[in-house]
Amino acid sequence: MSNKHIYYEGQVIWSMIDMNGHLRHSAYADFAAQARVNILAKFGFAKELMKLHIGPILFREELIYYKEIRANENVEVSCELLKCREDVSRYSLQSSIYRKSDGIKAAEINVDGAWMDLHARKLAILPEDMQKAFMEMPKAQGFRTEPASY
């Protein structure tokens, strides 16, 4: 386990188990989603986004499974910025789910997203101070920025 930025820890409960006796596919995505919500809250985004009527949206979600997770196991979920545009109008986040008992990486979840003005129902750009704060998030190995394009 190297340099993890953990934003969610929890136990796998019975309702998360599939008929094969391991964590169902959508529960992996749920854990990663909670880590994303938690990192936004930690960096002060949750309340500010609500005030601005802006919300995060996803264009793509990719799950890569490595090892089984079973009922009653505890997990740790990381969240790191993988890439983003210079104006942070688009971004990619990477989460990894680890079995807490042995530190084994069980899955990786990659998402591509943007910000939506919830009133206009159109893509939005964050205020400059929030753009700077977003860039303070932990970075994944290989992090890169891309030019802002409109």
| pLDDT for position 80 | 97
Burial of 29 (0-12, 13-18, 19+ CB in 10 A): middle
pLDDT digits (tens, 9 = 90+) for 77-125: 999 999 999 999 999 999 999 999 999 999 999 999 999 999 999 999 9
Flag whether the pTM goes above 0.85.
yes
The amino acid sitting at 81 is L
CB-facing half-sphere around the CA of 85: CA atoms within 13 A:
14
Please state the φ and ψ torsions of residue 104, each to the nearest 5 degrees. -70, 135
Quick one: pLDDT band at residue 150, thresholds 50, 70, 90?
low
Q: Could you tell me which of 52, 60, 55, 61 has the C-alpha nearest to residue 40?
A: 55
| Average pLDDT of every residue of the chain | 95
Angstrom CA distances, 53 to 60, 73, 90, 121, 125, stand at 22, 37, 17, 10, 12
Quick one: pLDDT band at residue 1, thresholds 50, 70, 90?
very low
H/E element, 96: strand 90-99
Distance of CA 42 to the CA centre of its chain: 13
Quick one: pLDDT band at residue 149, thresholds 50, 70, 90?
confident
Domains and CATH numbers, the chain: 6-145 (3.10.129.10)
The Cα 33–Cα 20 span in angstroms is 23
Please state the φ and ψ torsions of residue 58, each to the nearest 5 degrees. -115, 140
Q: Please check the confidence at residue 2 and state whether its pLDDT lies above 70.
A: no
